[in-house]
Amino acid sequence: MFRFKIANRIATRLVAVLLAVIILPTFFLGVFFYRTSSAIVKENVRQSSIQVAQQAADSLSNILNVGSDTSDLVYSQVAIQEKVMQETPKTPDNVKVDNKTYINNYLNTIIYASSFVKIIYILEAEGTSWGSGIFNQAKVDRYDIRSFGWIREAERLDGRLAWTTLQNDKFSGAGDNTALVIPAARVLKDFGTMRNIGYVVINIDGEAVLDKISQIRLGKTGRFFVTDQQGRVMIDSNREAIGNPVEIGALGEALAQPDQEFEYAQAGTRYYGVKQPLSNGWRIVGVVPLKEVTGQLESLQRSVFVWSCGFGLLAMVIGLFFARRITNPIGRLTAHMKRVGEGDLSARTAIRSSDEIGQMSNQFNRMLGRLDRLMSQVREEQQKKQRAEMRAVMHRIHPHFMFNTLSTIKWLIKLGDNDRAYEGLSAFTSLLEANMGKKGHMVKLEEEIGIITKFLAILELRYSLAFKLELRIEPGVADFEIPRMLIQPLVENAVFHGFVSKNRGGTIRIEAEDAGACIAIRITDDGCGMSPAQLAQVTMPAAPDNNGTETGIGLRHVRECIELYYPPGSRMVIQSVEGQGTVIAVTLNKPQQQDTEQQAEGEAAADVERDDRR
Asked if pLDDT for residue 25 goes beyond 80, the answer is no
Q: What is the pTM of this model?
A: 0.49
Query: Could you give the strand order of the β-sheet that contains 581-589, starting from the edge strand earlier in sequence?
Result: 467-473, 506-514, 518-525, 581-589, 571-577
Residues paired with residue 510 on neighbouring β-strands, in sequence order:
471, 523
Give residue 569's identity as a one-letter amino acid code.
G
Asked if pLDDT for residue 17 goes beyond 90, the answer is no
CA dihedral 373, 374, 375, 380 (to 10 degrees): 90
Q: What are phi and psi of 158, to 5 degrees?
A: 50, 60
pLDDT of residue 543: 45
Give whole-number Cα distances, 396 to 222, 488, 541, 548, 584, in Å: 116, 14, 17, 11, 22
Which is more confidently placed, 266 or 168?
168
Answer for the pair 467, 460: CB distance below 8 angstroms, yes or no.
Answer: yes
Please give the CATH topology (third level) of the domain spanning 51-292: Beta-Lactamase (3.30.450)
Asked if pLDDT for residue 604 goes beyond 60, the answer is no
Share of the chain above pLDDT 90, in %: 15
pLDDT of residue 372: 75
Which is more confidently placed, 32 or 496?
496
Q: How far apart are CA 457 and CA 174, in angstroms?
A: 155
| Residues found in the chain | 614
Q: What is the DSSP string of 33-47?
A: HHHHHHHHHHHHHHH
Across the range 93-99, mean pLDDT stands at 85
Tell me which DSSP letter residue 346 carries: T
Answer for the pair 408, 454: CB distance below 8 angstroms, yes or no.
Answer: no
Cα torsion angle, 69, 72, 78, 83, sign: positive
Strand-strand pairing, 233-235 and 196-205: unpaired
pLDDT band at 541 (very low <50, low <70, confident <90, very high): low
pLDDT of residue 571: 92
Q: Where are the domains of the chain?
A: 2-50+294-336, 51-292, 388-613
Residues paired with residue 572 on neighbouring β-strands, in sequence order:
586
Select from 108, 84, 80 the least CA-distant residue to 96: 84
pLDDT band at 608 (very low <50, low <70, confident <90, very high): very low
Asked if pLDDT for residue 40 goes beyond 80, the answer is no
Q: How does the average pLDDT of the chain come out, rounded?
A: 79
DSSP 3-state of 598: helix
How many CB atoms within 10 Å of residue 169? 25
Tell me which DSSP letter residue 440 carries: S
pLDDT of residue 523: 95
DSSP 3-state of 490: helix
Q: How far apart are CA 327 and CA 75, in angstroms?
A: 97
Hey, which of 341-355, 470-484, 529-543 has the most confident mean pLDDT?
A: 470-484
Q: CB-based contacts of 163: which residues, under 8 Å, 6+ apart?
A: 64, 150, 182, 183, 184, 228, 234, 280, 281, 282
- How many whole angstroms from its chain centre is CA 194? 89
Select from 80, 235, 74, 243 the least CA-distant residue to 161: 74
pLDDT in tens, 372-403: 778 778 777 776 666 655 555 555 545 656 77
Across the range 33-60, mean pLDDT stands at 76
CA dihedral 424, 427, 429, 435 (to 10 degrees): -140
pLDDT band at 249 (very low <50, low <70, confident <90, very high): low
Which is more confidently placed, 510 or 592?
510
pLDDT band at 544 (very low <50, low <70, confident <90, very high): very low
Determine the angle formed by the axes of helices 356-414 and 550-565, rounding to 10 degrees: 150
Cα torsion angle, 89, 93, 95, 96, sign: positive
CATH architecture label of 388-613:
2-Layer Sandwich (3.30)
